[in-house]
Structure 1
């Protein structure tokens, strides 16, 4: 009996100590919250920019620093004339932010305007930014996504033609799974610059917590450029051709390049000419001209139809040129000849290992169309 009583007293004493510890921790957190708010108030009255205030708080408080939305909210309050750093007193019973009523209110607000900000949702629902974010992400499972730009809003008949063409290509693929892609030759043109700006992703740097964002000075791509025409197939690049100066592709210049392509095929891929070339190109004016159609009939090459605004069905658009530009961006070449050599080297090395996988994945693009 005595031992049981002793154990009970020990448990009660432990709970009391734990409760005292929790209260002390809560008191410390509350004091820290007031201290941070006092610093925000002081720095905002000195005229510091919000970004500088946030960096200073992160440097001092590290992981205990408040989030950016919280800092911005208190800066706004102090600028509007608020003096108190304590929480506002609320009348009545405290509301539960994640109650069914609050969740339903947030859902209705979002359905009414899909572009509402978290800050505005919190104000309209009468809850904190943290609660609003939790309801949106955890309870409702929502994400705020930017609109994706597409070249054109297709009409119904254009969508039907796109589906029919994709089905036609799938039929040919399934009828001859191994030989269809081996017969395809595709190509297109793109501008190559002596210097092209590096992308935002390429400029990212790993920096310690609290560091200022790296600075990138405004620059422009070089005026010196050359038009590159690249033809390739499942085994790699067949021809890389450059137009001198800043000339653009015309029907006559493209006709000359096609003759170079046939010569290159005869030298590098003689078997492809015997199988019969399936030629894929977009419908740019120079490509669809009567002159070019006459040349293709002369070569006895079968043209694969290509519809307007179908970049996802064009390997140069969704694979070749994005990877090539990513490789060239941020490099300042001494001359355009160096830029041309860089293009040729990349096409003959990096591209060769990936072309068969890209060509072999064409049926996936057709099915998703």
Structure 2
């Protein structure tokens, strides 16, 4: 119980018996099984939930005030999470599955520009590593957005052309 991630083969090597015998003892006699943890983005405390609601309402208010030109840029953090196999632990029958929150700072981040409207995402741009957003980059980005709008929302492109 001190190392719930121990493998059947490791126990068999220590006890000098077959892996099948170890498996039978663990499952049939001890009533244990190996379970995978349930991945959750992060564990949120009851005190943090109202702040999340307030943040969501604030974003919705910004969108509602400026639907036609809503634009957001954000950093997308990425990391390599522990796999299901790596998270497997031994648990007795009736025990809750462990939860596996994202606990480490990301290994890297990517600047992302997301353009959307009430119907969904129109265009996503990922800034290349080492590149910065300057006027030339932004002009090219807006040109690409204009092309995407013409493809995905042709009725919007026609309206803009009349103006």
Tell whether the structures are fold-level matches, with TM greater than 0.5: no
Q: TM-score under structure 1 normalisation?
A: 0.21
Q: TM-score under structure 2 normalisation?
A: 0.42
Q: Return the index of the structure with the highest Cα Rg.
A: 1
Which of structures 1 and 2 has the larger relative contact order (alpha carbons within 8 angstroms, sep 6+)?
2
**Structure holding more helix per residue:** 1
